Amino acid sequence: MHSSPITIEALLVLDAIDSRGSFAAAAEQLNKVPSALSYVVQKLEQQLSVTLFVRQGRRSVLTPAGRHLLVEGRKVLAAMSKITEQTQTISHGWEPKIRIAFDSIIDIECLLEPLALFLNEHPNVEVDLCEEVMNGGWEALTDGRVDLLIGASAPIPNQQGIRSSKFIRLSNVFVVPMGHELASAAQPINKNDIKDYRTVVVHDSAQHEVPWSSNVIEQSRHFFVDSVAHKIQAIVAGIGVGFLPLKRIEPYINAGKLVEVDMADGRQSIDTVIAWKTVNQGKGLQRLRQIIMHCQSSDWG
């Protein structure tokens, strides 16, 4: 393999000279003599056949070629620093990255606070967050695409190696947009009363498994969306009707944009869990679960 004349040492020297403005000041920062820095720069200039610095008074200033080299080189230095930190993190039993899926029924705003607490404690651990719907979350966990699943509902896959804890119970209510016919209909109503109206349905995000359905009124016309947040917006806009978590839509009900309609079988309760694979013994995942469960409250709905 052809070796590059650009070394980590050379990039550190260029960075120090540019930051401090002179070879002497950079040498002091790097605990070297100025002549050692001059040798590194001259050797690099000869090998690349370019001029990297020019004198402007007492300062050493990068040429356009030198500036390009340093800008790109700083990306390399940052990557090297990241690799070093991650290696040290792993050696102490902490994962460099935790992949999380949360079910669309959970409000992401409630998830961000515990994540911020975790990242403030462990800034070297990266977090990759994605949103899934119904069976899509379980599929992501069982396929190994995520390490933690938050807000998933039953049934839990009958598969070895999956652990779960009770999370929160959500109250699901049937709502219609302001001014809708069902808002003034005799209540309570049943699902047969809904069949003549368009209902908004969230797609199951499963890619390979059989998709689940939840609260789908089979005889009605359907308007499909990708998330509960989009479902809320669609119903508020007057596109259709549907079941939604009460906590997520209380502000819309209080503002008169949505109207809860009483159902004959009452409000529905949804039990959710937080789940992970037992093979993942990383300290990061354990600590993150602790923080999430500590922050757990009805506000998550």
Indicate if the pLDDT at residue 175 is higher than 90.
yes
Cis check: omega of the bond before 96, within 30 degrees of 0: no
Region 221-250 average pLDDT: 93
pLDDT given at position 282: 86
More confident residue, 280 or 49: 49
pLDDT given at position 205: 79
> Degrees (nearest 5) of the Cα angle 232, 233, 238?
100
Indicate if the pLDDT at residue 15 is higher than 90.
yes
H helix or E strand, kind and range, residue 179? none
Indicate if the pLDDT at residue 206 is higher than 80.
no
Give the confidence band of 239 by pLDDT, cuts at 50, 70, 90.
Answer: very high
One fold for 8-91 and 97-166+271-300: no
- For the chain, which residues make up each domain, given as ranges? 8-91, 97-166+271-300, 169-269
Pick the CATH number of 8-91 from 3.40.30.10, 1.10.10.10, 3.40.640.10, 3.60.130.10: 1.10.10.10
pLDDT given at position 87: 75
Region 170-174 average pLDDT: 91
Q: What is the pLDDT of residues 240-270, one digit of tens each?
A: 999 999 999 999 999 999 999 998 887 888 8
Cα dihedral 228, 234, 237, 240 sign: negative
Structural domain 97-166+271-300, CATH architecture: 3-Layer(aba) Sandwich (3.40)
Structural domain 169-269, CATH architecture: 3-Layer(aba) Sandwich (3.40)
pLDDT given at position 55: 87
Indicate if the pLDDT at residue 174 is higher than 50.
yes
Please measure the distance between the N-terminal and C-terminal CA atoms of the chain and give it in whole angstroms: 56
H helices present in 49-103, as ranges? 64-91
Region 225-232 average pLDDT: 94
Indicate if the pLDDT at residue 202 is higher than 70.
yes
Indicate if the pLDDT at residue 211 is higher than 70.
no
Least confidently predicted of 2-6, 26-30, 62-66: 2-6
Give the confidence band of 210 by pLDDT, cuts at 50, 70, 90.
Answer: very low
Least confidently predicted of 132-146, 192-206, 251-265: 192-206
